[in-house]
A = this chain, B = another copy of it.
Amino acid sequence: MVVTSQLHVVIVGGGFAGLNTAKGLGGVEGVKVTLIDRRNHHLFQPLLYQVATAGLSPAEIAAPIRGLLSKYENVRVLQGEVTGVDLAAREVTGSLGTLRYDRLVLAAGAMHSYFGSEAWEVYAPGLKTVEQATEIRRRVLEAYEAAEHEEDSDIRRALLTFVVVGGGPTGVEIAGALGEMSRFTLARDFRNIDPALARIVLIEAGERILATFAPRSSSRATRDLERLGVQVWTGSRVSAVDAEGVEVGDERIAARTVVWAAGVKASEIGGRLAGGDPVALDRQGRVRVNASLQIPGHPSVFVLGDQAHVQGPTGDALPGVAPVAMQQGRYVSRRIRAGLKAADADHPPFVYWDKGQMATIGRSRAVLEAGRIRMGGMLAWLGWLFVHIYYLSGFKNRLFVLFSWAWSYLSFARGARLIIQKTWRSYGDSPLQGVHGSTDDS
């Protein structure tokens, strides 16, 4: 395609994939970018579990998308929701009306899946957004508060029981942080209860937690979790969730706080791509793309990140992790830039550079795999710390974040332990909401 005027690139989603695409096209002559996101901020998702467990504040892991892109005159940011795409007409539609594109990058992410039982969501929030993280935080902290003045011992026990569903990195990290909270952070803050007696159960349907890691890492992580007081149940599938707890096969765990960190369901936009043959999706709703991240038959449309199903070297899809999304974003920006000068089709396909994976368990242990390296313990945790600070400070002053965040984190920052009520009204609504279990969303 020969470009005579400005190429309009529309990017849907301001996460790792979308943001990196926009940055790669910022300041490029002949290209005009519109980035659309439902929210105004970019979220550093790997640390979202820290917000959910009151270790960090939302603002420490989020930044306004506008702020990150304001220096690029050719990039504009719009807050809105894209609900459909017309591939033939090359238009996206949604709350902002209709927008024509020359190139489209869909990077709208995914949410957790309840495997058909979406009604469970109100009892067991997922962890993909700041709102969900602060909701989980509220439930966890309120459970302790309620237990402090609860006289019925059965209810108290249920209040001090926390269930995490899903043994991937997210679930492991939440469970470890909850264990640490009960044994360290809150240790001296209560008079009637001993927070260290809280029971935390991590439930995984597969054979082992951290299934994408080596078996040795899974064992290590399991031991580290148990040391923090977390019970790890593998080969266990949750069959029901309600206000009182969860059912796992024949057993029932009475737990007032349940967190859902299992399953993947890609953005519904994938199912609303009209104007051509039906676009192939996988079971999680992810759009199947070719090796160059394009929708087959639509070379001007790319799908990235958690929203895409990209076949990896083993035949399985590439995982929905941050490094994949970042690299894909950069790849697409290079491809689009190259396409300005020469035919697109010559550009090499996307190759993921797998630098490894890691998961933390509490504040002093982690499991880390890179190439053939397998590490655990404190050394792995330090590696985790530096990698995350490095990537986080891609957009913040490195020195400040290192100091601020490390302090915040290492001192069991109390400031993040805020219970924010669900309603702000002084007149008209009671500001005190009942302890969760209520299905009232107002």
Give the interface of A toward B (CB within 8 A): 38-41, 57-60, 62-64, 66-67, 70-71, 76-81, 95-96, 111-112, 114, 118, 121-122, 125-126, 128-132, 134-135, 141-142, 145-146, 148-149, 186, 188-192, 396-397, 400, 403-404, 407, 411, 413-421, 423-429, 431-432, 441-442
Please report the C-alpha to C-alpha distance between residue A118 and residue B131 in the assembled complex, in whole angstroms. 28
Given A132-B424, A404-B407: 6 more A-B contacts, CB < 8 Å: A40-B418, A41-B417, A64-B418, A122-B425, A125-B424, A441-B442
Residue of B nearest to A65 (CB): B189
- A148: chain B residues within 8 A (beta carbon): 78-79
Please report the C-alpha to C-alpha distance between residue A57 and residue B128 in the assembled complex, in whole angstroms. 20
Of the candidates B40, B186, B411, the one whose C-beta lies within 8 Å of that of A419 is: B40
- A428: chain B residues within 8 A (beta carbon): 118, 121-122
Judge whether B191 and A76 touch: CB under 8 Å: yes
- A114: chain B residues within 8 A (beta carbon): 427
Please report the C-alpha to C-alpha distance between residue A441 and residue B442 in the assembled complex, in whole angstroms. 6
- The answer to whether residues A432 and B70 also contact, given A64-B414, A421-B39 and a CB cut-off of 8 A, is no
Please report the C-alpha to C-alpha distance between residue A279 and residue B411 in the assembled complex, in whole angstroms. 46
Please report the C-alpha to C-alpha distance between residue A441 and residue B414 in the assembled complex, in whole angstroms. 30
Judge whether B188 and A111 touch: CB under 8 Å: no
- A62: chain B residues within 8 A (beta carbon): 415, 418
Judge whether A407 and B418 touch: CB under 8 Å: no
Of the candidates B126, B190, B397, B426, the one whose C-beta lies within 8 Å of that of A111 is: B426
DSSP class of A's interface residues: helix, strand, loop or mixed?
loop
Judge whether A145 and B57 touch: CB under 8 Å: no
Judge whether A38 and B432 touch: CB under 8 Å: yes
Min CB distance A236 to B, Å, is 24
- The answer to whether residues A423 and B149 also contact, given A40-B417, A428-B121, A432-B95 and a CB cut-off of 8 A, is no
- A60: chain B residues within 8 A (beta carbon): 57, 415
Top 9 A-B pairs, shortest CB-CB distance: A131-B424, A66-B189, A59-B415, A67-B414, A57-B59, A118-B427, A76-B191, A79-B145, A135-B424
- A404: chain B residues within 8 A (beta carbon): 400, 403-404, 407
Min CB distance A403 to B, Å, is 7
Residue of B nearest to A400 (CB): B407
Of the candidates B64, B96, B420, the one whose C-beta lies within 8 Å of that of A149 is: B96
- The answer to whether residues A418 and B78 also contact, given A66-B190, A118-B428, A121-B426 and a CB cut-off of 8 A, is no
Please report the C-alpha to C-alpha distance between residue A121 and residue B426 in the assembled complex, in whole angstroms. 8
Supply 13 A–B pairs (Cβ within 8 Å), ascending by A. Answer: A57-B59, A58-B418, A59-B59, A78-B148, A79-B146, A80-B149, A118-B427, A121-B425, A129-B426, A130-B420, A134-B420, A400-B404, A442-B442
Judge whether A121 and B41 touch: CB under 8 Å: no
Min CB distance A63 to B, Å, is 6
- The answer to whether residues A81 and B189 also contact, given A417-B40, A420-B58 and a CB cut-off of 8 A, is no
Judge whether A67 and B425 touch: CB under 8 Å: no
Min CB distance A109 to B, Å, is 11
